[in-house]
Structure 1
């Protein structure tokens, strides 16, 4: 798995107190009982913790029907797109 995936899982477990046993790459946020409001907060934290200065992660990038792996991929794309080449 990617570094972004590992860091996202760490955020879910340490900052949002999601059970580490319940989190996996193919787990859907709905299965973790995480709604769209939670995901907005998660993406705001991910922006400050993972993306760095000058990188904006859209608040509607991830939906409750996305998997944790998909969320990590989308966040990584946002970070990569914003990084200078």
Structure 2
């Protein structure tokens, strides 16, 4: 996953008040209690941080952080 997952974790720490040690790749966004508005905010932040475009369906509440990192990485390869 290169540095995509750690960068995603840092976005969650910086923008949503999580601690690094309370986030795991297997956690879903709903387990982290991120609602749909928070997911929209995260999507916008990810797009800016990584310089990619995400669709509304790319990050869902049932997706794990590991899956999200894979989606982001797949967009980086295309970009």
TM-score band, normalised by shorter chain: 0.7 to 0.9
Residue 49 of structure 1 aligns to a residue whose secondary structure is: helix
Q: Deviations over 1:32-53 (max 9, x none)?
A: 10122211110110111112xx
Residue 32 of structure 1 aligns to a residue whose secondary structure is: coil
- Which 5+ residue runs of structure 1 have no aligned equivalent? none
Q: TM-score, normalised by structure 2?
A: 0.87
Instruction: State how far apart, in whole Å, the 2-side matches of 1:2 and 1:43 are.
Output: 20
Count of paired positions = 79
Asked whether the 8 Å contact 1:40–1:60 carries over to 2, the reply is no
Instruction: State how far apart, in whole Å, the 2-side matches of 1:32 and 1:67 are.
Output: 10
Tell me which residue corresponds to 1:29: 29
**CA RMSD of the aligned region, Å?**
1.4
Larger Rg: 1
Q: Does 1:73 align with 2:74?
A: no
Following superposition, which runs of at least 4 residues in structure 1 exceed 4 angstroms of deviation?
Answer: none
- Which 5+ residue runs of structure 2 have no aligned equivalent? none
Residue 20 of structure 2 aligns to a residue whose secondary structure is: coil
